[in-house]
């Protein structure tokens, strides 16, 4: 009986600690969501949320940064990650058909460095595109990993006839410590199918890659998870789909309390959705509980301190 009472008290204490931790997190920080609208021609947009469910646009839903690099001058799929020095680093898709990506950095999300074009696939003259680049900071190696999807016609036979308009993407990566010099571009993920829109999260000693199966014939167009003990290699075959029957893309992930939330673009329905899980195996569709600004498209969720958010608001007024 004493053991049962002790166990019950311990569970109650852990529950209280989790609730208190989540409450402190919500009070001390604010969630931000970087995104683009239309074709990405007007640049970077930001939304914010106190609960990671209800999102409101900042700056009256006007752009905070207009694109200046590459011929098409687009800013699609903006991914923002904070570095160890406190600076925010952003990469984005500059064009539907280009062999490079865009990059800029900022200390306050208001004032940005000169925009830079990074020719990550310049060594592949047949490469058709560089889509949805993302960043991951590797604390062990003290460097940033940049990864994205590219089609190189004829490079992979598997899935070559299953995509849209002869696209057959695989994931590639490079790394950098200063965004001036970069390691040679290498393949990151090839499991024999057309794949785009990866985003990587770390949990314990494992890396989770949330990705889109881009197979068109027969249609998949869903989100899945691959796992690895290494950031740069060894990712597993994908899990079963974690999204429903609708076509989904552009995943971004928030870890809120004990729950993982994956937001994604229901792009054929022109709306945004989300699924949630506590074990990364069983997923619940919570699309009915999330609310985003109209027209929001593929971006990244991240967190800032309350003071940083207040400074951002002050700078916008």
Q: Does the structure show a pLDDT above 60 at 236?
A: yes
- Rounded to two decimals, the pTM is 0.91
pLDDT confidence of residue 268: 94
Distance of CA 148 to the CA centre of its chain: 11
Residues 6+ apart with CB under 8 A from 257: 18, 21, 22, 25
Residue 53 φ then ψ, to 5°: -125, -45
With cut-offs at 50, 70 and 90, classify the pLDDT of residue 4.
very low
With cut-offs at 50, 70 and 90, classify the pLDDT of residue 92.
very high
Mean pLDDT to the nearest integer, 113-128: 98
pLDDT confidence of residue 26: 52
The span from the CA of 84 to the CA of 152, in Å, is 34
Residue 130 φ then ψ, to 5°: -140, 100
Mean pLDDT to the nearest integer, 71-92: 97
Q: Does the structure show a pLDDT above 90 at 211?
A: yes
- List the domains of the chain with CATH numbers: 31-315 (2.115.10.20)
> Parallel, antiparallel, or unpaired: how do β-strands 88-93 and 101-106 relate?
antiparallel
pLDDT confidence of residue 33: 98
With cut-offs at 50, 70 and 90, classify the pLDDT of residue 238.
very high
Give the max Cα distance, the chain. 73
Tell me the HSE value of 284 on the side-chain side, using a 13 A CA sphere. 10
The string of pLDDT tens digits covering residues 55-65 is 999 999 999 99
With cut-offs at 50, 70 and 90, classify the pLDDT of residue 235.
very high
- Burial class, 118, CB count within 10 angstroms (exposed 0-12 / middle 13-18 / buried 19+): buried
Q: Does the structure show a pLDDT above 70 at 103?
A: yes
Query: Across all residues in the chain, what is the average pLDDT?
Result: 92
């Amino acid at each position: 009986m004493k053991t049962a009472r002790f166990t019950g008290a311990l569970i109650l204490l852990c529950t209280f600690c989790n609730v208190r931790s989540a409450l402190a997190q919500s009070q001390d920080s604010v969630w931000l969501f970087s995104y683009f609208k239309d074709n990405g021609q007007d640049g970077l947009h930001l939304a914010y949320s106190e609960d990671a469910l209800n999102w409101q646009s900042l700056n009256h839903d006007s752009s905070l940064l207009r694109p200046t690099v590459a011929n098409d001058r687009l800013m699609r799929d903006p991914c923002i990650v904070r570095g160890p020095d406190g600076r925010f680093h952003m990469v984005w898709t500059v064009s539907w058909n280009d062999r490079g990506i865009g990059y800029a950095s900022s200390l306050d999300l208001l004032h940005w460095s000169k925009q830079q074009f990074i020719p990550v696939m310049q060594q592949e003259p047949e490469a058709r595109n560089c889509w949805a680049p993302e960043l991951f900071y590797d604390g062990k190696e003290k460097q940033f990993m940049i990864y994205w999807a590219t089609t190189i016609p004829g490079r992979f036979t598997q899935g070559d006839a299953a995509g849209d308009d002869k696209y057959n993407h695989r994931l590639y990566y490079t790394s950098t410590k200063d965004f001036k010099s970069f390691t040679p571009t290498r393949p990151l993920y090839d499991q024999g199918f057309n794949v785009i829109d990866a985003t990587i999260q770390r949990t314990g000693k494992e890396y989770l890659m949330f990705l889109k199966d881009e197979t068109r014939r027969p249609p998949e167009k869903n989100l899945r998870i691959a796992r690895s003990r290494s950031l740069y290699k060894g990712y597993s075959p994908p899990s079963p789909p974690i999204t429903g029957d609708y076509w989904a893309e552009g995943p971004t992930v928030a870890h809120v309390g004990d729950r993982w939330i994956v937001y994604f673009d229901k792009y054929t329905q022109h709306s945004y959705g989300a699924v949630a899980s506590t074990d990364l195996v069983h997923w619940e569709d919570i699309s009915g509980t999330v609310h985003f600004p109209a027209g929001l498209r593929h971006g990244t969720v991240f967190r800032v301190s309350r003071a940083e958010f207040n400074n951002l608001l002050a700078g916008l007024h």
